[in-house]
Structure 1
């Protein structure tokens, strides 16, 4: 990263700080396309697993949708237009797409002009800048296709990972605002400034407006911020679901096999198959196979609760995953 993002807080901003309870489907669509083109070896295991699965679903329609979004928001851009990720999308994709289609022509032209100062834009974006309705409909259709074909099919896994991250953040908040900010990788909190690596040097001065932090399954390594100071301050950050691997976990891996041990250790907190997959960085189908073996061994039990199956450790499984067990 070539620069630093610095978010300047006042006491009022700490009181008005919000932690979103869910991800934003339009941010996830944009950042999901970035994952698809990320260099091999750069991604975390869970994103590598998602990418491998998603690439099998790409047909000409999906490829065209991804190309259009990446024309506007390429993975290596230091800035992409804020109108692509309206705050209304926190109410759902339909609300976000309605807001996108209603973007004033003057704002579209301004933000595309700002982007063009940093990189060359494709010729078709001239139609978008002129406010031609069909160009914006194409953008909205691309969001819909990517969500329907690539994002939503894995949403149980995404939602489980988001819930784990939110639980960790709220646990930190119980201690203090500072603990919450300290817990949000890759940020560094040095009161009153929260900073993180960023593609360019950028300062956000909240000035008592507060800020909303949105966790993202597909945000990789560095946060992304809304640039326009006239818009509500929003920062999307990469969620963290993996826990530190201990010597005990390593020994368990040698005993059971690394992936099976990851599944077992993930169940120190009860979870769904998707949640385990997110924590362990494995495909849900792989997790299901390991769960069957662990159930047969009397280490795990599973119970349907509504639409999901919740997996928990049996007393024997809990003993096996407990560090410094004197047994």
Structure 2
């Protein structure tokens, strides 16, 4: 008799469990995940607490917006600061993610057990009204000062000045940066400037380049431009320079060796322009001479 009663009890329990599981499987709404704050102790006034719940609902059930907790509601010193709802669909099911942000405004003179409130989410659209609850989450509230405000005033400590930052390394780096910037600026001026601002900027070819630049703007005769360049060659060489003296000129001034072919071509075109009736496009020829004089100037400055 005793064994029979035990068997009946077991069968009844299994039947109830099976019925419960079937009801759970057949429920059109369910909870997938609940996330609560990572720690439940040492919560102070003003702290922010986050929780999240994920729900899934089968069609035609939908989360009712009217059932959502109201932003700004206060429950025993716990204020709902923010609520965000997002959803995504997969087949005939809808996944809801509800993020809740609470802020603690409770006051206590001693450690106190508190809780985030229970929240209820209703679903509509089906034959029956269904809802799911987000259970309470308990935590320990820790006061900033153990005691009343009078005790807090007695425990006030003088403010400490912040530690000074050693700026010597930064000043050294800044000084190096400024020095590099100045050197770069002087270099750019030295390479590109036409005026005699620095030493070695007023050489013979630099002067010829300035004269050719003016001649190009005023569209002067190309023969005058050729004379300016010949005069510069004569100053650098120390005597009248002819095409037969180019090798001696290069040997005496090797910084112009890279332009030897250009110098030879210049003397050839100069002889044709000055001593023959060959006519050139004045504007184009002046521009060529200007470019050539700038190359000579760069070699003169060693850049």
Quickly name the TM-score band, shorter chain normalised.
under 0.3
Pair member with larger Rg: 2
Structure with the greater relative contact order (CA < 8 A, sep ≥ 6): 1 or 2?
Answer: 1
Question: More helix by proportion, 1 or 2?
Answer: 1
- TM-score with structure 2 length normalisation? 0.17
Question: More strand by proportion, 1 or 2?
Answer: 2
- TM-score with structure 1 length normalisation? 0.16
